[in-house]
Structure 1
Amino acid sequence: MDGSVRGSSGQAGMGGVLRDWNGRVVCLFSFFVGSMDSNAAEVMVIHKAIKICSSSSFLSGQVVSIVSDSQVAVSWIHNEDFGSLDQVSQISFIRSQLKSQEGLQVVYVPRMFNSLADSLAKMGSGACGDFLHWM
């Protein structure tokens, strides 16, 4: 998953790809999230990804790795400091889900591995219409 913010306008979007253990795409999503900075967009997309995964009976009892290319957002989730007060409720939700759902994790992976999620996030930041599609 990825967050994207358009230049000085601050129009933000989020996008993500859910894959199974074999790398097959199971779900795609893209959403417009309003005006915010890039760190807020990254936290928001982690929050959304957890909600999407939690709503799926397909994923019940499965190991789920939420992969982000934002070291800042991942560090806010795993450490006591979490940046802006605007993200308190989202980070608290994420932390509580990580504690209560065995097999759920949020990890950092460098940007080069998320080109499809990046494209979906950019589409969301352009307010092209929200979508969530299960394969």
Structure 2
Amino acid sequence: MKKLYIEKPVYKISNPVNWPPPPIGFKFNVDGSARGKPGLTGIRGILWDMEGKVHCLFSFLVGSKDSNMTKILAIQKACQLCALNTVLLGSNITIVSDSKVVVSWVNNNDGVGSLKHVDIIYDFRCLRNMMRGLSIEYNSRATNSLAENLAKMGSNMEGDIVVWGD
């Protein structure tokens, strides 16, 4: 599968009513979606700051996965992208997902789900522990609607995309 990495200027988005900006630092809204059960799944995310400037967008096809796994993979990808960006390493970053169960698993509050999730959640926890200022939060679907819509579009795309702003 072809991977496409694009550098573009920072975009500015209008602030949707149900999409509050982060109080400090950055917010990475993420989601995963499937096209059918089983079906192709995609993950997407959008990183933005207090002023509504978009700093990163990503979209990846992740094969045929269950819904919990796609949400775990979306959180993991956001964390990986933040870890690779030296500007973000010392920043406060909140990764937001609309899955209360998955957020509980990755925050080590309630097990790790089924055995098929163990390895990826363990890897994610190790990565998260290396990054200061990173937190994972649950927000309802209404407040994560942009990432949800992006994820649905991602499951219909071909190829992987990462777009970084300045």
Structures share fold, TM-score greater than 0.5: yes
Higher strand fraction: Structure 1 or Structure 2?
Answer: 2
Correspondence for 2:24: none
- The 8 Å contact of residues 29 and 120 in structure 1, kept in 2 or not, is answered as no
Name stretches of at least 5 consecutive residues in structure 1 with no aligned partner. none
The structure where helix makes up a greater share of residues is 1
AA matched with 1:48:
K
Residue matched to 1:86:
116
SS at match of 1:62: coil
The answer on whether the counterparts of 2:34 and 2:42 sit within 8 Å (CA) in structure 1 is yes
* Partners of 1:12 and 1:33 within 8 A in 2: yes
Unaligned runs of 5+ in 2: 1-29
Over 6 Å off, 4+ runs: none
AA paired with 2:132? E
Q: 1:66 corresponds to which residue?
A: 95
Distance 1:89 1:8 in 2: 23
Q: In structure 2, do the counterparts of structure 1 residues 113 and 80 end up closer, same or farther at CA, with 3 Å as the change threshold? A: closer
What is the letter of the counterpart of residue 114 of structure 2?
S
Number of residue pairs matched by the alignment: 135
Q: Does the 8 A contact of 2:43 with 2:70 survive in 1?
A: yes
Question: Which amino acid letter does the alignment assign opposite residue 56 of structure 1?
Answer: N
2:150 aligned partner: 120
Pairwise CA RMSD: 1.4
Partner of 1:51: 80
- Tell which structure's C-alpha radius of gyration is larger: 2
Q: Any conservation in 1 of the 2:82–2:88 contact (CA below 8 Å)?
A: yes
Cα deviation, residue 133, structure 1: 0.3
Q: Does 1:26 align with 2:55?
A: yes
Q: Select the structure with the greater relative contact order (CA < 8 A; seq sep ≥ 6).
A: 1
- Identity %, equivalent residues: 46
